[in-house]
Chain A
Amino acid sequence: MIKASTKQEQRRRKPPLGLRLAPYLFLLPNTAIFVLFTIWPAINGFNISLYSSSNGRTFRWEGTGNYQRILSDDGFWGVVMNTAIYAVAFVVLSVGIGIFLAVLVDQQGRGRSFFRAAFFIPVLISPVVVGLIWNWMLERQNGLVNTFLGMEIPWLVDDNLALVAIIAVGVWMQVGFYMLILLAGLQSIDPTLYEASGMDGASRWLQFRTITLPLLQPSILVVVVLATIHGFQAFDYIYTLTGGGPVGATTLIVQYIYENGFVSPIRYGAAAAGSVLLFCVVFAITIVNYMIGRKREAV
């Protein structure tokens, strides 16, 4: 015990009970909901994946049976394949177009806020409605897209085209969101850098490569990670756009989990095992992001 202590220090050492309890009471409701509806389910998910059930009430021990079953199921691998193609294409296109639009909007003097709002509005629309609109737009005979093209392309009927369609609609819906984050990154770049290199005769392309891209990297990293996670979680607009069809050609992992868990015939075990695998992928991406972020700070 230190003898000589000021009045202030004394007060800090023995705060009244109310003051000591207050932070815990303030945190209680929020933390209780986190623990009950996120943390505990995340832990319990691994446990559930070791059981099987067809009604969600009675469970039978399976051990690793669920995993063995879905990993030897061609249908599951089809879903994994669709999800992988979707996620990669979605990330590349939405980030690429996002950077392109952000740079163009950033350079635009007049009407900049109009374009920013125009690209962002699809982000706000209910994904269910996005699926409805595009199902209608891409209709084979009566759709606006085919009318415009003067063709009858079976966008939502052909296996490969349907996958292309859900990727395109996903990009349409989300790209404004990524553009916004990238635009914020662009606007934090010091404009005098461009002026100086412009005086040295650097071309715009050279400026983009040597100034914009390197300084934009933190924002690009954020957007790539977000897009990857969004890509693996895509579900709602696909539900109303193609419903996962034709014949499972656009069924992604979240729809697989939803259908096995909640649509008859219910296969709880498969759904839970699928969830755990998706969890591992999302978790791995977040960790990689964290490591890349750390490395960059250290350099």
Chain B
Amino acid sequence: MSIPQTVSPPTQEPGPKRSWTSTGQRQITATDALRVVILTTAALVALIPILWLVFGSFKTPTELSERPPTLLPQSWGFGNYTEALTRFDFGTYMMNSVIVTVAATVLTLLINSMAAYALAKYNFRGRNALFLLTLATIMIPLQVILIPVYQVVASFGMVNTLWGLIIPAAATPTGVFILRQYMLSIPDELIEAARVDGAGELKIFLRIVLPVCRPALAVVAILSIMWRWNDFLWPLVVAQSESVYTLPVALARFTAQETVPFNLIIAMSVVSILPVIILFLFFQKQITTGIANTGIK
């Protein structure tokens, strides 16, 4: 009995690269050059604002207000970072962001994979109805039900708690969908054989199904981390007191009130974008194929 293959995309076929010319010979034409110029310009437009932020985080306040602005800092110093961490409670906000992201992602992986397993591998009454119910929630984004969701969360006493940030968004239709599609490729015989051997349903799920689903779980985990870490509207509504601010909420609140110097805001902005960018650089392939295949964010 073989374990299903991972759903990685087909590897690039060997042979000549796809090109517009039928012969495939390398002749640099004017259009090729134009294409490279346009792509390079667009890449600069995409990246310069981010580099500008990163360079700015090392500049002193006087250098930041200089005219005309300089691109590279005169001397590279970590003063903004250390000051932001000591003068304000940015450490707490970062901790809150980490706790919410990790806890929500673990919870999402667990309950999404359980639901996906039920929908993929059991025949039971109401299966189609429950699957449709799951898919329907894609059509109901938080923005349009902000007030009634807040009421529910408030009635549970979860306003101003990290639970209020973790639980409501943990059940993601995208995650259920990705995992269900993957689990459909697990052969039924594998599960039947374990049942004949006397394994319980929970044991089969934990010991056989979950390990096999590792690639799909990785995709859902990465997406969940990206969503939760950058989430803003919901934390803005739920985290009303400073002790439960996440990084994005703290950054936005402090910018609006101008209570924190700009150089410290920049430093904390860099801290808040770094984890996701590092994650992306490590898992580029999984992230891009995951998003391209589901088309959902």
A interface list, Cβ under 8 A from B: 18-20, 22-24, 26-27, 29-31, 33-34, 36-42, 44-45, 48, 56, 101, 104-105, 107-109, 111, 113-122, 124-129, 131-137, 141-144, 147, 172, 176-177, 180-181, 183-184, 191, 194-195, 198-199, 204, 207, 222-223, 226, 229, 233, 235-236, 239-240, 243, 254, 257-258, 261-262, 268, 271-272, 275, 278-279, 282-283, 286
Contacts and interface: CB of A to CB of B under 8 A. Distances in A.
Contacts of B38: 104
B69 A127 contact: no
B167 A271 contact: no
Nearest to B108: A30
B228 to A, nearest CB: 11
A124 B280 contact: yes
Contact of B233 (A199, A254, A283): A254
A76 to B, nearest CB: 16
Given A22-B201, A127-B232, A286-B139, A44 B127 contact: no
22 contacts: A23-B124, A26-B117, A30-B114, A41-B148, A42-B140, A56-B150, A56-B154, A107-B35, A119-B42, A121-B50, A121-B277, A124-B230, A129-B251, A133-B53, A136-B262, A142-B65, A184-B289, A195-B22, A240-B252, A240-B256, A258-B237, A282-B141
The 3 closest A-B pairs by CB, nearest first: A41-B148, A184-B292, A30-B115
Interface string B20-37: 111000000001000110
Contacts of B36: 108
Given A22-B201, A172-B45, A117 B284 contact: yes
A118 B114 CA distance: 36
Given A26-B114, A222-B295, A233-B143, A37 B149 contact: yes
B279 to A, nearest CB: 8
A180 B295 CA distance: 9
A41 B152 contact: yes
A88 to B, nearest CB: 18
B144 interface: yes
A235 B233 contact: yes
Given A121-B277, A132-B269, 6 more contacts: A26-B122, A27-B119, A38-B137, A56-B150, A126-B276, A283-B139
A282 B141 CA distance: 9
Contacts of B202: 22
A132 B20 contact: no
Nearest to B136: A39
Contact of B230 (A126, A184, A226, A278): A126
B3 interface: no
Contacts of A122: 46, 49-50
A33 B46 contact: no
A26 B201 CA distance: 10
A104 B297 contact: no
Nearest to B269: A129
Contacts of B56: 136
Which label, helix, strand, loop or mixed, suits the secondary structure of the A interface? helix
A107 B255 CA distance: 42
A275 B169 CA distance: 19
B105 to A, nearest CB: 15
Contacts of A243: 256
A204 B34 CA distance: 14
B144 A261 contact: no
B168 A147 contact: no
A233 B65 contact: no
A283 B111 CA distance: 27
A51 B117 CA distance: 41
Contacts of B65: 142
A129 B39 contact: no
Interface string B168-189: 1111010010000000000000
B211 interface: no
B134 A34 contact: yes
Contacts of B273: 124-126, 129
A216 to B, nearest CB: 13
Contacts of A132: 53, 251, 255, 265-266, 269
Given A23-B118, A30-B114, A101 B42 contact: yes
B139 A177 contact: no
Interface string B143-159: 11111111111100000
Contacts of A199: 22
Nearest to A97: B42
A108 B284 contact: no
